Amino acid sequence: MNFILNTPSNYDVNCHTHRLLEKSNSLFFHKSLKEYNCPDLITLTHLSNSIGVGNIFIKDESHRFGLNAFKVLGASYAISRLLKEQTNIKTVCTATDGNHGKAVAWIANKYNIECIVYVPHNTSKERITAISKFGASVHQINDNYENTCIHARYMCSLNNWTLVQDTSFEDYEYIPSLIMSGYLTHMHEIKNQIKLMNKSIDIVFLQCGVGSWPASCIWFFRNMFNENTPKIVLVEPRESAGVFESLENGSRVSPNGLNQTIMAGLNCGIPSKNAWEIIKSGVDAVIKINDLSCEIAIRTLYNPIESDKKIIAGESGAAGLAGLLSVLNYDKFKILRNHLKLDKNSNVLLFNTEGATDLKSFNRIIKKDPNYN
């Protein structure tokens, strides 16, 4: 089975994460930074017509703060809050598959504090270099992402460093919740952009790793859109589908896949604890996609139809579109299409969460297209 349906219910609004999200002033904070910019919400009119939906809106985060990914929204907000609460922080540490580590390194450099970053064995040299250029000390571990997180946690306890991780576990939920609160900035931007367009959103496809970012989006839609809440679909790599398998199991589990996918930012382990609580009661469906569908989505965005805008999307960045195209193109998703009421009138929101963060991989994918030049 490549998809799993879910019936959203009301999650515990009294939980600590909910209260932090509710009190978030992330948009105000990010606007105070000189690097702040509001990436466009792009309408892909001709692609929409081609595949048979009403409108495709895509938030292009490849231009966020010049860092080529959205992750800086969470890390910058969380660390700024921590430094106000704990003025003696000298070193921050995290585990990452790329974009989160770069974000932590960027804001640590801005605040002139030391940054230690651990990356799993399959992290590309280009992503490691991108983190290092902001002054972080990067250490590659001969293990997967989930165990790299465990290693970073251990090193923090050993050295009295501050762990700034975007996944939560037992007794470690406050900082991941702050990171989720930071992600709300682009949700507020989207709500304003959609209002200016005088449009609505019917269905959202969100790529999913440990789940912190899609959980923050789900929370926003459920709490800020009220009766206009769209249907929400999470998209995971087939070989690293932690949320999918957790929904099947009824509780959080580490995925049983091979952890081999070009979607490095989604190649994660067990879902984040506080994100899981929101996801399991707020998502409408979860689907699994393969790498080939992701490559097709990257080329689709790179080679726009007629006057549609060209979008440079990395492997994780294109996963939302890959999910949409898969659901539309294959008969095995017919039940899901009906569940979502996905048809020619549907307005679909997607996110390009990263640009070409690994140029070698990106160019390999693009050169498979006959229109590449």
Report how far apart, in Å, the C-alpha atoms of 369 and of each of 180, 255, 320 are: 36, 32, 20
Residues 294 and 314 in one domain: yes
Residue 147 exposure: Cα atoms within 13 Å on the Cβ side: 9
Asked if 236 and 200 count as a contact pair (C-beta separation under 8 A), the reply is no
Report angle CA 77, 83, 85 to the nearest 5 degrees: 105
Residues 164 and 244 in one domain: no
Residues 62 and 76 in one domain: no
Would 153 be classed as within a structural domain? yes
Looking up residue 135, the CATH number of its domain turns out to be 3.40.50.1100
Would 44 be classed as within a structural domain? yes
Active-site position among 59, 60, 71, 231: 71
Residues 194 and 329 in one domain: yes
Domain boundary among 174, 190, 206: 174
Query: How far apart are the C-alpha atoms of 265 and 100, rounded to whole Å?
Result: 9
The reply to whether 97 belongs to the active site is yes
Burial of 125 (0-12, 13-18, 19+ CB in 10 A): exposed
Query: Cβ atoms within 10 A of the Cβ of 8, count?
Result: 16
Sheet containing strand 137-140, edge to edge, reads 137-140, 114-119, 91-95, 162-163
Residues 212 and 224 in one domain: yes
Would 372 be classed as within a structural domain? no
Would 143 be classed as within a structural domain? yes
The reply to whether 71 belongs to the active site is yes
Residues 225 and 311 in one domain: yes
Would 373 be classed as within a structural domain? no
Would 371 be classed as within a structural domain? no
Give, for all 373 residues of the chain, the pLDDT tens digit. Answer: 799 999 888 665 557 898 999 999 999 999 999 999 999 999 999 999 999 999 999 999 999 999 999 999 999 999 999 999 998 999 999 999 889 999 999 999 999 999 999 999 999 999 999 999 999 999 999 999 999 999 999 999 999 999 999 999 999 999 999 999 999 999 999 999 999 999 999 999 999 999 999 999 999 999 888 778 999 999 999 999 999 999 999 999 999 988 899 999 999 999 999 999 999 999 999 999 999 999 999 999 999 999 999 999 999 999 999 999 999 999 999 999 999 999 999 999 999 999 999 999 999 999 875 554 4
State which residues form the domain around 120: 72-174
Q: Are strands 137-140 and 3-5 parallel, antiparallel or unpaired?
A: unpaired
Residues 235 and 156 in one domain: no
Active-site position among 60, 97, 202, 358: 97
Residues 146 and 230 in one domain: no
Residues 51 and 120 in one domain: no
Domain boundary among 137, 156, 174: 174
Domain boundary among 150, 174, 198: 174
Number of structural domains in the chain: 2
